[in-house]
Amino acid sequence: MKSIFGLTTIFEGTIIFDGANITSQKPENIARAGLGYVPQVSNIFADMTVTENLELGAISSRGGNAGERRRVLERVLRLFPDLSPKSRAKASSLSGGQRQMLAVARVLMAEPKLLILDEASAGVAPIVAELLFQKLVEMHELGLTLILVEQNARKALSIAERGVVLVQGKKAFEGSPEEISHDKEIAKLFLGEATNI
């Protein structure tokens, strides 16, 4: 994910996004092209308020005036209503789940075409993780394409259209959630003994 988003040195291969070669582009150019990235850690600005974090997310927006940015902000806050009452609070005062919601909301302010999330449910309570997965489904229903890297493979597959199993950085298996969950070897190694999603 860091390589896709221009945060590592790429020694070979090409990254094509939306028909354009973005290999080794600067992260800000990749963001302007419509790719959003929510890292697992260090994904908010803790010393800034919730509103400041969201406004900062709009900096890499692919266009739009102040009125348009206000419309995007309202849409993002409808998706994450728990953030509205905390708008003036420092991000450091938020719970783990609220911080993760803020991280996603901040990236959504740029209106990406594709959103990549790294371990969205890591370190949050199960009930918050469930809420986050519901929000991912809502985002997809609104037309956003998502790539989710997730340790909770069973839950991720329950909302996915397609799954890829990586082993030591290489693709070991790719298929529909049903194909992955019913492959006995994959299910045993990555999903536990049960094969029902």
Distance CA 97, CA 86 (A): 13
Burial category of 192 from C-beta neighbours within 10 Å (exposed 0-12, middle 13-18, buried 19 and up): exposed
Domain C-terminal end among 120, 135, 151: 151
The model's pTM is: 0.86
Are 102 and 162 in a shared domain? no
Are 106 and 36 in a shared domain? yes
Are 84 and 166 in a shared domain? no
Contact 23, 14 (CB under 8 A): yes
Are 158 and 146 in a shared domain? no
Residue 3 lies in a domain: no
Contact 64, 57 (CB under 8 A): no
pLDDT for 83-102, tens place per residue?
999 999 999 999 999 999 99
pLDDT for 51-78, tens place per residue?
999 999 988 665 567 788 889 999 999 9
* DSSP conformation letters of 31-56: HHTTEEEE-SSS-S-TTSBHHHHHHH
For residue 193, give its domain range.
153-197
Q: Which residues contact 144 (CB under 8 A, 6 or more apart)?
A: 108, 112, 113, 114, 115
CATH number, domain of 98, equals: 3.40.50.300
Percent composition of the chain: helix, strand, coil (DSSP 3-state, to 5) = 45, 15, 40
Tally of domains within the chain: 2
Residue 10 lies in a domain: no
Instruction: Tell me the pLDDT band of 195, cut-offs 50, 70 and 90.
Output: very low
